[in-house]
Structure 1
């Protein structure tokens, strides 16, 4: 995902350089990118809903390669987000950079909910570590994800209450739908979650679809477990939206792990309906 992000970002910058060299234009573009990807905005931008997410919410810095969950929810369900969304973002990065505090700062006292789309990149990173040691590596990564999620929620709620008072935030996280490891990558080399990458790095699995779907089910089960320990943590199951186990339907997928526009339409519709009782937005 990082190669996609940087390739397209470079293309966007080259395009902008040839179109307009005015400093204020670049200032506007840069300010918008900082605000939407890292929640570094010029002053408070009050909103009732925050969002912190990976490429399922924003593949490429807001570039409309595909309408992911964030633009779907904004354009079709009238959400007004403050947030930090960026393809390739990991939960580890969010916690290390304190992005939950920046989103809370921007949302202000009226923000009640933060939507999370995180964890997938933490699982996908450094796939070579899985070779010959799948179970142990997955167990360690899931434990780290759980620790980071609980830390983000605890520190975020403490910060929100200390700064603005009121009740703790509600944190809504979705589990991902099943990958399709047999899809070709959109850009060569950007094949996280693809059987082609498994083969290339020597990660030999008997059946790629069984491997990825089993891993995804385990991740969703982890999120359910955390809800039992964190009363402000809410899990939304999006599995079987794009066709079902062991892999999502090719006609609804952009690549191995991302839906296409139609697929994200189905995902956003299901997600919006399930979170409406919590957010009261969209219907």
Structure 2
């Protein structure tokens, strides 16, 4: 979650540029980036399952810094996704950019399900705004998240039906598992849910673990509410997979908000089991 600095990506690109200066090589990199992260691809890629997500789905362009949910589901459970995933992506950005339409265009008439990994960055961004008004800011952000989720589903289904016909898409969203605010940040810029970031921006909370756990529970409850109001919106609960509450165990965490490889393998196992009856993929 939270915006991931692209230091690693820039290093890779710099290395590749110096190794091969051919224009078509750089064009291949650009094409891959646009297709993988924004579903802007050269033509339709028929697929039954799409995915739109943040760093829980993909930290950095599929680069194996850590195997997040998207590569776990692709490599271990035979999912063939089309989608738009990149660390730092917010739900607000998805709606503003119309990524739901681009994913549907890419997948085509075969698209039946879109998996969502979104909302965490919308909650965690600009923590200083919470100072002195935690309840007010959280209520405002949750209201915006709810409105954006409903807009995503309603406009996405209307677009799919008008263009391809058939049944509405089923939108599956997972709630996140509990952060561990006491973990040190490993990925630059990913420390939004860390106590060190709270202290640095002046956000004083009596108990960092209780604060993050309460936020996480409230977000999951919000997803339940949306699922009751939108028939094609399906919520799956991943809480307590990594040992919480009130916070996930350090041996399963990369930093305060991201799991490590072992942690994501546990999350992917649970997610795959929960969504199998809907997607009929993976087991």
Q: In 1, distance between residues paired with 2:160 and 2:3? A: 35
Shift of residue 189, structure 1, vs aligned partner? 4.8
* Uncovered stretches (5+) of structure 1, i.e. residues with no partner: none
Structure 2 unaligned runs (5+)? Answer: none
Taking only aligned residues, the RMSD between alpha carbons, in angstroms, comes to 1.1
User: Corresponding residue for 2:273?
Assistant: 273
The count of aligned residue pairs is: 283
Q: Residue 247 of structure 2 aligns with which residue?
A: 247
Matched residue, 2:97 = 97
Partner of 1:182: 182
SS at match of 2:109: coil
Conserved 8 A contact 2:3-2:87: no
Match of 1:18 in 2: 18
Secondary structure, in 3 states, of the residue corresponding to 1:266?
helix
Question: Alignment partner of 1:108: what SS?
Answer: helix
Displacement after TM superposition at 1:199 (Å): 0.4
Name the SS of the counterpart of 1:213 in structure 2: helix
Moved more, 1-10 or 235-244: 1-10
Q: TM-score, normalised by structure 2?
A: 0.98
Residue 49 of structure 2 is matched in structure 1 by 49
* Structure 1 position 101, deviation (Å): 0.1
- Counterpart secondary structure, 1:29: helix
Task: State the match for 2:74 in structure 1.
Answer: 74
Aligned-partner SS, 1:114: strand
8 Å CA contact retained: 1:5, 1:60? no
| Aligned-partner Cα distance in 1 for 2:188–2:117 | 25
Q: Equivalents in 2 of 1:151, 1:210: separation in Å?
A: 31
SS in 1 for 2:110: coil
* Kept after mapping to 1: 8 A contact 2:2/2:191: no
Are 1:227 and 2:227 an aligned pair? Answer: yes
Tell me if 1:84 matches 2:90.
no
Q: Could you tell me how far apart the structure 2 residues matched to 1:256 and 1:130 are?
A: 19
2:33 aligns with: 33
Q: Which residue of the partner structure matches residue 58 of structure 2? A: 58
TM-score by length of 1: 0.98
- 2:187 and 2:255 in contact (8 A); partners too: no
Maintained 8 Å contact 1:39/1:83: yes
Moved over 3 A (4+): 1-5, 187-190
Tell me which residue corresponds to 1:160: 160
Deviation, 1:67, is 0.3
Distance 2:76 2:106 in 1: 23
8 Å contact kept, 1:5–1:59: no
Alpha-carbon distance between aligned partners in 2 of 1:111 and 1:194, rounded to the nearest angstrom: 38
Deviation of 1:191 (Å): 1.3
Q: 2:178–2:240: 8 Å Cα contact kept in structure 1?
A: yes
**What is the Cα deviation at residue 60 of structure 1?**
1.2
1:63, distance to aligned residue in structure 2 (A): 1.6
